[in-house]
Amino acid sequence: MDSVFKKYKIWILLVLVTPLLLTILQFPKTNPLQGVEELKAEEKLSWTEGTAQKYYENLWVRSSVVHPIGVKLRNQMDFSFFKKINVHNTYYNDGIFYRFYNDFQTDNTLFQGEKVLNKKFEQYKELYRLLKKRNKTLLFILTPEKHHVYYKQVPEINRAKNSDSSNYRYFINKFTETGLPFINFDSYFIENNLKKPYRLMAETGIHWTNYGAAVALDSIVKYLSIEQNTQYQNLEYKLGKPVKLNWMDNDLLTTSNFPIKPKAGPLADIYVTNADAKGKKIPAVLIGDSYFHAILWTQMKDAVFESNTYFYYYYNTEYDYFGNAHTIELKRLKKQVDEAECIIIESSPMNTENFGFGAIEKMLQILRAEEK
Amino acid sequence: MVFSSGLFLLYFLPIAILMYQIIPGSFKNLWLLVLSLAFYFWGAPLFIYVVLGTSLANFIFVRQMQKPNSNRKFWLVAYITSNLLLLGVFKYFNFFAQNFSDISEYAGNGTVSFFEIALPIGISFFIFQSITYAVDVYRKEAPALNKFTDYLFYILFFPQLIAGPIVRYKDIAKQIIIRKLSNEQFVSGFHRFSIGLAKKALIANTLGEFYMKLQYGQGILGFESSSTAWLMALTYTMQLFFDFSGYSDMAIGIGRMVGFSFPENFDKPYLSKSITEFWRRWHITLGTFMLHYLYIPLGGNRKKSSRIYVNLLLVFFLSGLWHGAAWNFVIWGLFHGFWIILDRLFLKKVLEKLGIVSILFTFFVVLNGWVLFSANSMAEAWHNFEVMYAFNGVEITYQPYFGYFTFFLTLSLILVIISAIKPYYNLRDFIPREKAGIWNSVTLLGITTLLYAISFCYVLAADYNPFIYFKF
């Protein structure tokens, strides 16, 4: 029996030491984890307060080749056995990845009330009028919401109660009533997502896919061409099977870091064919949230927008055409609005709580001053 | 650094065990001592000097005690007093100072500000362990150690330094000097370690996460649910057991891998039929310490009943205080003391006749005790009891992944129940069929490897919870 235990002991020593050996040898080469923030040291690391220990512990463990293997295996086990997703605020149900706060909260409980929303809408109308005076179009686009497009798979407990008491329904009604320039991609995607050859919004992502963004952008360009009475260059692209998807196409799945990915609907890569074409492009100011990233960090931007197009992300950040971030300055915004032909405000239904992201007020401030 | 951390599993343990196999016998203890110093230094670089200084003083005290014609009792008293004083200052100064300040404020004299003293990790354990050394040597139950490094090794040995088991010196004295390590012992040690790691990394941590989510959910809608409060109490009860017993398993396992036999610390405590029995099964080494170093010296069962009850209350008062410098721990200790006295008066005889009902009743009492133990203050504990016993019929606050967490809660309950049967012990102690066990030895090794590998993945991934839009 002792010889048997001796063999077992050797096995155990191998089990214990192998991860360390692999770490030293930096073998096998593994792909890094997706969506994980790089480890940053605090400014002052202290051994007596424990911050140094914590930092080095994390560093030595994360720099090991077995770390991504362990994380991926853990994520896979949790998903395969329990359908648990180890991404902040994310869950899975019936083939769909959702974010927790996409549901009943956003549709009903964040309703700001008619008084607040009326004020916002009045400001928007005034901005529209002032921009129209200057031959500029103000367009509002409502991007699709995950739990609207995949409504059937939302667990019962998370289902929105159908009610008009929601911010986004308020804006849909108002835009429809007043006829102000508005495109409702939410309802379009609900209707067409499963009919298209590729997903407009992936089961495994939070935003529209690249294909969805391309379809939307195509509509936007055509709409603005009519509004501005100008023939802007349309987006031209080819669809192909994905070689390397833009990570936003299925960002939740990517961040989940599974070795074995669950089945989902077909996704397509977008190959823009007229990025370098010299047609008339749109000089614009874009205000919105992360949905615009699918356009702005791809060649779709080059095909459609002029190089003096600027993107305002939420309340605090402005990106120029080349992706450089700046803090928002009124002086710069004024120049950008002066040069722009179109101002596009984008919001998902959830984000209609932040309608305009503070930019409407800033632009009004600028334009009212000019009127005086 | 804790056993269930990436640093320990990836670097510390493999290097420790591998080098232990290679280093010649006379240097093995030195190697373990170096590891233990590094282990403690990593966690508490400032306090290593307190531990070293205390240990040197203790060692000298006992050397003095061993000298011919020495006043042995004097040195013992000096030893115990100085150690308890150290524990008192580091662990309880803040507690008593805060209470003094509260009383002063209540009396209208305003608060009293004081300098807060930080608590060295593991102080409760290594002070108690130090005391067993002096007392066992004094009682001549074990010889004193000749080398300071051996004494330091006994005090600081890393598997049981931070959270026990509290190893009495006499139980380990011979093993410090000479011990044999068989292959079977090594294998069963690693097996035990893997089981402990799985208990901690897979079950206890998950239940801990569930408890935090339930706690967050309580009151989030403006009212608290009795059902949720009971679920929290049950979750904490199971989490604490798997966490603590898991850690003990890991300590016992590592000890075994280097030739030591540490005493068991848990023996199916939640299947106890009375609180008296519970304290023979829960944190056994603490109970043993209190019995042999406090209760028996106070007179034990030889005194008249009223004195026994006072002694029992004192023992449990001090047990509670030992667990933490806060009133809820003291009340928890007295809570158990109260039930022990009831057992002596009549309850134990009644419960002996009730079979499974006695197990359920005892579990219920223990669970209520943990409500006291888990609170941050007496006010919070009282509030938790109020919510629990309101039976307000409010639904459990919805939790994401409720099924996932209740699976692990159910699993923990099942494991507690099946721990009474032989296959469980054969599994825990790696008793193969060849040794009258139930499991084939290859199966046992397979289970060991699988548990270790899965737990290893979960430990590595413990800090992984990316926020999808950190970039944005």
Nearest-CB residue to A20 (from B14, B183, B449): B14
Candidate ranges A30-44, A228-242, A333-347, B111-125; pick with highest mean pLDDT: A333-347
> How far apart are alpha carbons A90 and A78 in whole angstroms?
13
pLDDT of residue B472: 31
**What is the predicted pLDDT for the residue at B187?**
93
> How long a stretch of residues is chain A?
372
Beta carbons of A345 and A360 less than 8 angstroms apart: yes
More confident residue, B29 or B92: B29
Distance between start and end Cα atoms, chain A: 98
Task: Report yes or no: A281 and A300 within 8 Å, Cβ to Cβ.
Answer: no
Tell me what the mean pLDDT of segment B268-279 comes to: 95
> What percent of chain B clears pLDDT 70, i.e. is strictly above it?
96
> Under the phi-then-psi rule, with left for phi > 0, alpha for psi from -120 to 50, and beta for the rest, what region is A207?
beta
Point out the residue among A4, A61, A206 whose CB comes nearest to the CB of B10.
A61
| Mean pLDDT, residues A261-290 | 91
Put residue A159 in one of left, alpha, beta given phi > 0 → left and psi -120 to 50 → alpha: beta
Of the candidates B401, B385, B276, the one whose C-alpha atom is nearest the C-alpha of residue B339 is: B276
Catalytic residue, chosen from B191, B283, B292, B323, is B323
* Cβ atoms of A347 and A361 closer than 8 Å: no
Please identify which residue in the block is written with the tokens 């492009």: A281
Does the structure show a pLDDT above 60 at B80? yes
pLDDT tens digits, A17-71: 999 999 999 988 888 888 777 767 667 888 888 888 888 998 999 999 999 999 9
pLDDT of residue B441 exceeding 90 = no
Chain A 321-350, residues with CB within 8 Å of chain B CB atoms = none
DSSP state of B354: S
Cα separations (Å) of B454 from A17, A244, B194, B242? 16, 31, 10, 17
B chain contacts of residue A157, beta-carbon cutoff 8 Å: 398
Which of B8, B429, B464 is the best substitution to test chain A (most A C-beta atoms within 10 A)?
Answer: B464
Q: Which of residues 181-210 of A touch B (CB under 8 A)?
A: 206
Lowest mean pLDDT among A143-152, B344-353, B462-471: B462-471
Indicate whether B469 pLDDT > 70: no
**In B189-237, beta strands by DSSP E:** none
Neighbours of B214 (CB within 10 A): 22
Closest CA to A346 of A219, A163, A158, A225: A219
Whether A193 has a pLDDT exceeding 60, the answer reads: yes
Q: What is the pLDDT of residue B471?
A: 32
ipTM of the complex: 0.89
Name every residue whose Cβ is closer than 8 Å to that of residue B134 and which is 6 or more positions away in sequence. B58, B61, B62, B65, B76, B79, B80
Mean pLDDT of A318-336: 88
Surface-to-core class of residue A241, CB atoms within 10 Å of its CB (0-12 exposed, 13-18 middle, 19+ buried): exposed
Asked if A40 is an interface residue toward chain B (Cβ–Cβ < 8 A), one would say no
Query: What confidence tens digit (pLDDT) does each residue in B6-61 have?
Result: 999 999 999 999 999 999 888 999 999 999 999 988 988 888 888 899 899 999 99
**Which residue in the block uniquely carries the two structure tokens 């080398």?**
B147
Three-class secondary structure of residue B17 per DSSP: helix
Q: Kindly report whether the peptide bond that precedes residue B165 is cis, defined as omega within 30 degrees of 0.
A: yes
Q: What is the pLDDT of residue A161?
A: 65
Chain A residues in contact with B9 (beta carbon < 8 A): 19
Give one word for A50, left, alpha or beta, with left for phi > 0 and alpha for psi -120 to 50. Answer: left
Q: What share of chain A is helix, strand, coil (3-state, %, to 5)?
A: 50, 15, 35
**pLDDT band of B306, cuts 50, 70, 90:** confident
What's the pLDDT band for B470 if we cut at 50, 70, 90?
A: very low
| Least confident residue range of A330-344, B178-192, B420-434 | B420-434
Distance (Å, rounded) from C-alpha B460 to C-alpha B297?
Answer: 47
Of the ranges A242-251, A353-362, B298-307, the best mean pLDDT one: A353-362
B246, B196 contact by CB (below 8 A): yes
Q: For A13, which of B18, B445, B456 is closest by C-beta distance?
A: B18
Find the mean pLDDT for residues B343-347. 91
How many A×B Cβ pairs under 8 Å?
139
Q: Which of A291-295, B111-115, B429-433 has the highest mean pLDDT?
A: A291-295
Q: Which of the given ranges, A240-244, B95-99, B319-323, B406-410, has the highest pLDDT on average?
A: B406-410
Looking at beta carbons, which residues of chain A come within 8 Å of B18? 13, 16-17
- Does the active-site annotation cover B323? yes
Residue A243: per-residue pLDDT: 65
Q: How many other CB atoms sit within 10 Å of the CB of residue B180?
A: 7
